[in-house]
Amino acid sequence: MKFCAEHEINLQTFYSWLAKERKNSPPMQEVQVNLPTPRLEVRVCFPNQVEVRMQVDSPSALGTVFREAAQC
């Protein structure tokens, strides 16, 4: 192996290091990365006793909902 030759490492020593590393490390596990995000339930109560309930997709959308509700 070129790496072992460049660093003057015995090939058998290198392989034993790799085997120890594999033995001590946890096994790989697949994870699903694009999980659906839960929708957030929003309830806006107006001073005139009107109550509006809706769902938003993300916390960042809450700001938009509240800004628009403030204009009503």
Query: What is d(CA 69, CA 72) in angstroms, rounded to the nearest whole number?
Result: 5
Look at residue 72 and tell me whether its pLDDT is greater than 70. no
How many CB atoms are closer than 10 A to CB 58?
A: 9
Q: Could you tell me the pTM of the whole model?
A: 0.37
How many CB atoms are closer than 10 A to CB 54?
A: 13
pLDDT digits (tens, 9 = 90+) for 13-37: 999 988 888 777 777 777 777 767 7
pLDDT digits (tens, 9 = 90+) for 45-61: 888 888 888 888 887 88
